[in-house]
Amino acid sequence: MKVVISENPVELGKVSAIAAAEGIINAIKEKGQANIILATGASQFETLKNLIENKEIDWSKVVMFHLDEYIGLPESHPASFRKYLKERFLQKVSTLKASYLVNGENDPEAECSRLNKIIQEHPIDVALVGIGENGHLAFNDPPADFDIEDPYIIVNLDAKCRLQQFNEGWFETLELVPQRAISMSVKQICKSKLIICSVPDTRKAEAVRDTIENEVSNLYPASILQKHSNCICYLDKSSASLLSE
C-alpha cells in the first residue's frame, strides 16, 4: 500500500482522480476496455468530480460496477447509491459502454446471483473505494469475511456503520437506516488490478490509523489493503492526523 497525503479534500480529489484515470486509460490501451468499480458517499465527491472532467478517457470503452446498496431502499430515496451514481456519474458520462448497478429492491439472493455472473466475466482494472468510520471496506463491517469467494454478498450493517449514515444526513432518523445491504466482498475488491482508496475528513482518522498501522485483521476490514500489490490510499491532513509517521 502506498499512502499519499494532500492538504485538503479538494487536492485529494485531484490527485486520486489522476491516478484512477491513468489506470483506466492504460487498461483501454492494453485490452481495448476498462472495467471499473465506483464507490459512493461523501468521501468520493471530489474524486468522481475530477474523474468525470478528464477528457482523455474514452468512456465508451468503460464498464462500471458499483460496490454496494441497501436492501429494500427505493432508488428515489436520497441515500440510494443507485441514485447517487446516476446523478453524479452516469448522467454525466452518457457514452459508458455498460453499467451494472446493485438493485436492493430485488430479491437479494437473486440480485447477488445476477451480478456475480456478470462480474466474473469482467476482471476489474480500477476500483475506487473508501473506508468507513468503523474501518469497513464497502459494507463489509467488522468482523469482515476475508475468505468468501462470492463477488457480491448479503451483509448485516453494524451500529457504527448505521450511525455514520445517519450522521452524514442521508436519513432523517437512525431507525430508518436499513440493517442489511448487498455488498461486494472483500476478496472481490482485492482482485482489482489497481485500487484507489480516497479517505478525507477528521472523522475517518481513527479508521485510517487502524487500516494502515495495525496488523491485518478482519476487525479492521480495510487493513486487508496492506496486502494488495497496487493500492494507493489518498488522505488529507485531517484523515492522516493520527498516523504516527
What pLDDT, on the 0 to 100 scale, is given for residue 14? Answer: 97
Is residue 244, in this structure, part of any structural domain at all?
no
Q: Is residue 12 part of a domain?
A: yes
The answer to whether residue 241 is domain-embedded is: no
Compute φ and ψ for 69, nearest 5 degrees: -160, 145
Tell me: the pLDDT tens digits for 150-183?
999 999 999 999 999 999 898 999 999 999 999 9
pLDDT at 132: 94
pLDDT computed for residue 60 by the predictor: 97
Degrees to nearest 5, angle at CA 211 with 206 and 213: 90
pLDDT band at 43 (very low <50, low <70, confident <90, very high): confident
Instruction: Give the pLDDT of residue 41.
Output: 83
- Angle of helix 9-31 relative to helix 45-53, nearest 10 degrees, comes to 50
207-231: pLDDT as tens digits: 999 999 999 999 999 999 999 999 9
Sheet strands side by side (includes 231-236) = 2-6, 231-236, 194-199, 126-129, 34-38, 62-66, 98-100
The pTM for the full model equals: 0.96
Tell me: the pLDDT tens digits for 89-106? 999 998 999 999 999 999
- CB-neighbour burial class of residue 178 (10 A; exposed 0-12, middle 13-18, buried 19+): middle
Adjacent-strand bridge partners of 185: none
Average pLDDT, the chain: 96
Q: How far apart are CA 149 and CA 121, in angstroms?
A: 15
| Structural domain that includes position 141 | 2-236
Q: Residue 136 is part of a domain; what is its CATH number?
A: 3.40.50.1360
DSSP for 53-109, please give it. H-TT--GGGEEEEE-EEETT--TTSTT-HHHHHIIIIITT-TT-SEEE---TTS-HH
Distance CA(117)–CA(165), nearest Å, equals 30
How many Å apart are CA 101 and CA 81, to the nearest integer?
9
Please tell me the distance from the alpha carbon of residue 68 to that of residue 40, in angstroms, as a whole number.
9
User: pLDDT per residue over 53-79, tens digit each?
Assistant: 999 999 999 999 999 999 999 999 999
Nearest to 140 by CA among 189, 183, 196, 204: 183
The answer to whether position 243 is within a domain reads no
Q: How confident is the model at residue 25 (pLDDT cuts 50, 70, 90)?
A: very high
Q: Please tell me the total count of domains within the chain.
A: 1
pLDDT at residue 127 is higher than 80: yes
